[in-house]
Structure 1
């Protein structure tokens, strides 16, 4: 049985984003559709030579109050909401001279973009659309009779269906109505979230989060899980805003790991030193600073060459040829950097499956943002961990003070530990990680695992002793017992950075003093679950 077609004879067009407007209007006009429009959209269409009727002619009221009032009128909403087959609705339309509107094409004032560019409170308020969402919701509710289009990428398909059939199919209208309600929901979420922030409400009574589909993924963490990637309209540089220069389509795990890598490498100011972070399963397996990217990459790679295979590489400076050649010597899934020169791009072009992502800049590690996690029946929402260490705030708790070199490494190791799954232990020496223990149920186990990996790496490199000898160590939370500190000392660490705050701090400090270690407390932990 052929699906019934609802004819399109009259369309109302009112768009902020005028991409593709004239092309759509031409196809509608050629199909015999009457055009009604508002304000700037009507002017744009007239300037392009189209015959268009103003909404004010339809309503017999002029646009007023700086355009705030123009479509909120029964002549508009009656034309959208009337059920064509309902005799009472038909009688009301006839009595009041309301003509049906069969197609609504609306996109909304650019509220998200206005907020994103840091506009004033009053300007943001003026970019809250009222008439647009009202019309969209009306048309979507009445999708049995009305077609609603809110995204420019749907113009071609809708126009083609009208050209083919003279109208639209019910299945098309249902699909477009679902898209329309998703758009108004996302719009309201953006407005309510912004207003809550503006009045300083950190825990609003109702909170909604919205995203825009960027990519349907092949699968999720595992092949039996479906997945998709959504964007949230924020301008934060990273995997969501990067341009993919080459390589296979990003997977769910690629996106997650690349985000972790770029957020970590952003901790290190590119003006101070080049930095590289190599990530595997959202944990760093090597991080280093250096005078050049090539040096930083080599030192990060030497932390754990086994784990670096098939990893994600993030850089804090534009990629150069020497670094590109070093990276491509082993299998690497993704490289992300704030730029790449032509020579580096040419090196990567010889590895067509390697994904190269480029951004304009690094994310600000101190910029406030929210972190979300779904649990059964709800969402956990918290501020992202943007805490950074002021070396002047450190409290030395041992008899021995850290040397300047140790202090520099302690701050470096602490910055890395913030991005390691808890329980996190990071050994560092000379501005590079030399052992990382992540995600263990016991802190002492993380301490020993990191030291063992260092020993394995030293053996592979033909070194006389493990690289943790003479290193410093960072612990993302306090040592509940002295055993973890003792294990670090036995591995060869000379200085410790940790939050402090344990009931057994005195015992831990005594253990450090007994072994001639320097230890500093931060007063702040960095759990990462």
Structure 2
């Protein structure tokens, strides 16, 4: 069923495409009502427009806070054309039908993002706009509601095809979009207000996100999936520009996020992280990016095949040429120079993402995880142990070189699935044990992987000999530490706090191992 548009009300903050849209409506014989800046822009373009105040017979008051909140506006929107009683009420009260509402709201989200003060944010809460949108959307049987400039062309084209009318299908689609917009707007306001009141966990959690991409499938082909963004400006996969390569998959996005968050832990030197199935198979720092890449790759080149590569510096040609030798799914970096882009352009299936910056590892943010029937909400793990916060608990103190590697290993371990064990030597991972049910198994697997990688590289000495080891949580027994001792580790970093700490410390002392406690745990499930 089509509904002809004879009268439209336009009131927009975002003036994109406004004049062109108003001109098209006028050319199709539509009377245009408008307010404030919208009316001025339309009039300046030579398009006839009637001020809302002239339509209602009631002036704007209270600095524009009250202008469209009037029965002649909402009656014209809400009156059901199919009900004679509604039409009679409109006639009795001199209310003219309004057939189209074009409204986008005061820029509240943008105002908050700019760090405006409380009063300014309050004044940028739109009241009349959401009211009109909701009225029009509720009565979409007869009224067309437009909240996004990208829909102007669709409406104009459909009116041209239907003698000035829109179809029921289009009105329903636009109504759904309108309710989604007002819902997101109210969510942004309530979230901001909770923050102003210091409420980390408000009584009602409102989550608002915008569809960025419908994915081919989810973790597996039989699952449907999509990618949504939350409007935060944290550099990463959600804000990145894809310069080349095929469409990112669900698993690509998840792993790329893990890779970039990990490499963002390091800012002092060039660093590279290679991720496979959300776990690192190689992380390293170097004097140059190519040195860091080669060190990271050497940790586990077998697992790196088909992985995700994240770097914390502008990608250069030399590093790009080395990366091009490996089959990788994604490369993500803060930027890439033209020569590097040209090198990777030859790898047509490789996705290259640039973020414009690095994520702040200590930045405040929240993470949300779904459970059956609910959600888990928590602060992002922004914990970072500093050198002077380490507590030496063994007779032997770690050397300065060991301390450097211990801190490096603990930062990496924060991004490894628990139970997490990470061996590090000379600023690079040499073995990673992830996601095991027992910590001693993680220790053994990490050492075994290091041994296998060394053998494949033709090395005579165990890579873990002279390394340091990190544990994301305390050793509940000495067996995990003894596995590291057997592998040749000389220093250990762990949170401490086990009932058997003294037993573990004694085992370290017995083998002349240096051990430091952090007092901070980094479980990652």
Any gaps of 5 or more consecutive residues in structure 2? none
Please state if 1:12 is matched with 2:3. no
Q: 1:496: which partner in 2? A: 492
Please state if 1:216 is matched with 2:214. yes
- 1:27-106 matches, cutoff 5 A: 27-106=24-103
- 1:110-259 matches, cutoff 5 A: 110-165=107-162, 166-259=164-257
Distance 1:80 1:7 in 2: 14
Following TM superposition, by how much is the alpha carbon of 1:420 offset from its aligned partner in structure 2, in angstroms? 0.7
Counterpart of 1:305 (choices 287, 301, 310) is 301
Following TM superposition, by how much is the alpha carbon of 1:65 offset from its aligned partner in structure 2, in angstroms? 2.2
Q: 1:393: which partner in 2? A: 389
Q: TM-score w.r.t. structure 2 length? A: 0.98
Following TM superposition, by how much is the alpha carbon of 1:309 offset from its aligned partner in structure 2, in angstroms? 0.6
Q: 1:414: which partner in 2? A: 410
Q: TM-score w.r.t. structure 1 length? A: 0.98
Distance 1:69 1:473 in 2: 66
Distance 2:233 2:54 in 1: 40
Q: 1:458: which partner in 2? A: 454
Distance 1:251 1:273 in 2: 31
Following TM superposition, by how much is the alpha carbon of 1:239 offset from its aligned partner in structure 2, in angstroms? 0.7
Following TM superposition, by how much is the alpha carbon of 1:117 offset from its aligned partner in structure 2, in angstroms? 2.0
Deviations 1:468-503 (A, max 9, x none): 111111110011111101001111111010100011
Q: 2:335: which partner in 1? A: 339
Deviations 1:234-292 (A, max 9, x none): 111111111111110111111111111111111111xx210111111111111111111
Q: 1:433: which partner in 2? A: 429
Are the aligned partners of 1:457 and 1:466 in contact in 2 as well (CA < 8 Å)?
no
Deviations 1:436-491 (A, max 9, x none): 11111111111111111101100111111221111111110011111101001111
Counterpart of 2:311 (choices 302, 315, 328) is 315
Deviations 1:3-60 (A, max 9, x none): x211111111111111111221122112111111111111111122211111111122
Following TM superposition, by how much is the alpha carbon of 1:61 offset from its aligned partner in structure 2, in angstroms? 2.0
Deviations 1:73-131 (A, max 9, x none): 11111111111111121111111111111111111111112212222222221211111
Distance 2:82 2:11 in 1: 27
Deviations 1:344-364 (A, max 9, x none): 011011112111111211111
Following TM superposition, by how much is the alpha carbon of 1:63 offset from its aligned partner in structure 2, in angstroms? 2.0
Please state if 1:513 is matched with 2:509. yes
Deviations 1:157-214 (A, max 9, x none): 1111111102111111111111111111111111111111111011211011011111
Are the aligned partners of 1:116 and 1:235 in contact in 2 as well (CA < 8 Å)?
no
Counterpart of 2:278 (choices 275, 282, 287) is 282
Any gaps of 5 or more consecutive residues in structure 1? none
Following TM superposition, by how much is the alpha carbon of 1:218 offset from its aligned partner in structure 2, in angstroms? 0.7
Runs of 4+ in 1 over 4 A off after TM superposition: none
Corresponding residue SS for 1:224:
coil
Q: 1:384: which partner in 2? A: 380
Distance 1:495 1:373 in 2: 35
Deviations 1:325-355 (A, max 9, x none): 0111011111111111111011011112111
Distance 1:332 1:104 in 2: 49
Following TM superposition, by how much is the alpha carbon of 1:62 offset from its aligned partner in structure 2, in angstroms? 2.1
Corresponding residue SS for 1:329:
coil
Distance 1:131 1:193 in 2: 20
Following TM superposition, by how much is the alpha carbon of 1:68 offset from its aligned partner in structure 2, in angstroms? 1.6
Deviations 1:360-417 (A, max 9, x none): 1111111111100111111111111111111111110101000000001000001111
RMSD between aligned alpha carbons? 1.0
Are the aligned partners of 1:310 and 1:331 in contact in 2 as well (CA < 8 Å)?
yes
- Which sits farther off after the overlay, 403-412 or 120-129? 120-129
Deviations 1:308-332 (A, max 9, x none): 1111111111000001001110111
Corresponding residue SS for 2:72:
helix
Distance 1:362 1:64 in 2: 47
Corresponding residue SS for 1:302:
helix
- Which sits farther off after the overlay, 365-374 or 38-47? 38-47
Distance 2:62 2:356 in 1: 40
